[in-house]
Amino acid sequence: MNSEIKKTKMVPLPSQSIIPERDIAQKPILEVSRLGINFGGLAAVEDFNIAVGPTEICGIIGPNGAGKTTIFNLLTKVYQPTSGAILLDGQDTSNMNTVQINQAGIARTFQNIRLFPSLSVEDNVKIGLHNQIGYNMVSGIFRLPAFFSGERRARKRVMELLDIFDMTHLASHRAGSLPYGAQRRLELIRALATNPKLLLLDEPAAGMNPSETEELMSNIEKIRDSFQIAIMLIEHDMRLVMGICEGIAVINYGKIIAKGTPEEIQKNPLVIEAYLGKKKGKIHVKRDRDPGLLQ
């Protein structure tokens, strides 16, 4: 990880961006303005603005039930926003559905792992590659040459991707039978396989011990550097968030209450209040898992 990049100052953009200086020279990959959704009159997310640079790692934190997962669900159109605009790489996404969003370049993982449990690890990743495998149903049924070349290329790519997390030896295992940590890694690989520009990780370190978290942090940075993509993550593990995120947005009751670099966030009195009530001091985080709205 380039330490120079980490030190760059945050400069405010018109849309209250938290992207570092280096990314402002380029066009942001994701621009969200005034995003909101109402569930029967209750504003789950309100007036959410953010801009993410093309290779930025950005974190969203906040207490349980603050609306973090809802933001991911809005970005991927699992829920249709009731207000606001989402621009992905300058392109308006308001008419897209979940499938088109993925094809346009957003991939995600889920808080409560969602793999294809009855399929093998290899097939799970191949499903991520689905839209890049260039043969159709007819070539598949009649086993035309396109089928074999397509499958061969897909298999090669699967092994390359699995190799990032040293999982090639698990390729033929059933995804549902993998241990918890491996399932989380597989879900990340599957999301990466769709060739995204922006990767959304929903609590990637949930249920991991400190050494696994450490490994995950270096892996996230490794992915950003080798794939040159932006990563947005929701996480309760402050060591991870403060350690790898270049910009952080803090959400409470569906609204952004603070934005900035990790250092700025740690000192922000509003953030401290949201997490700990009135008491001052170091940020403490509840380890309970966010129930989320997706279930």
153 binds another protein (CB under 8 A): no
Is residue 140 within the footprint of another protein (CB under 8 A)? yes
Termini Cα distance of the chain = 36
Q: Could you say which of 19, 133, 186, 223 contacts another protein (CB under 8 A)? A: 133
Closest distance of CB 160 from another protein, Å: 14
Among 122, 195, 177, 183, smallest CA distance to 154 is for 122
Q: Which two tokens stand for residue 177?
A: 């039978």
Closer to another protein by CB, 94 or 177: give it: 177
| Contact between 144 and another protein per CB under 8 A | no
According to CB under 8 A, which residues from 65 to 84 bind another protein?
A: 76, 78
For the record, the structure tokens of 20 come out as 């570092």
Of the candidate residues 47, 123, 215, 264, the single one contacting another protein (CB under 8 A): 123
Among 70, 102, 183, 268, which residue sits at the site for another protein (rule: CB under 8 A)?
102
Contact call for residues 158 and 168 (beta carbons, < 8 A): no
> What are the structure tokens assigned to 37, written together?
């959704």
Single out the residue of 20, 54, 84, 150 in contact with another protein (rule: CB under 8 A).
150
Taking the CA atoms of residue 10, residue 11, residue 12 and residue 15 in that order, the dihedral angle to the nearest 10 degrees is -80
Instruction: Give the count of beta carbons closer than 10 Å to the beta carbon of residue 270.
Output: 12
| DSSP three-state, residue 76 | coil
Binding site for another protein (CB under 8 A): 76, 78, 97-99, 102-103, 107-108, 110, 114-120, 122-123, 126-128, 130-131, 133, 135-137, 140-143, 147, 150-151, 154, 168-169, 171-174, 177, 190-191, 193-194, 294
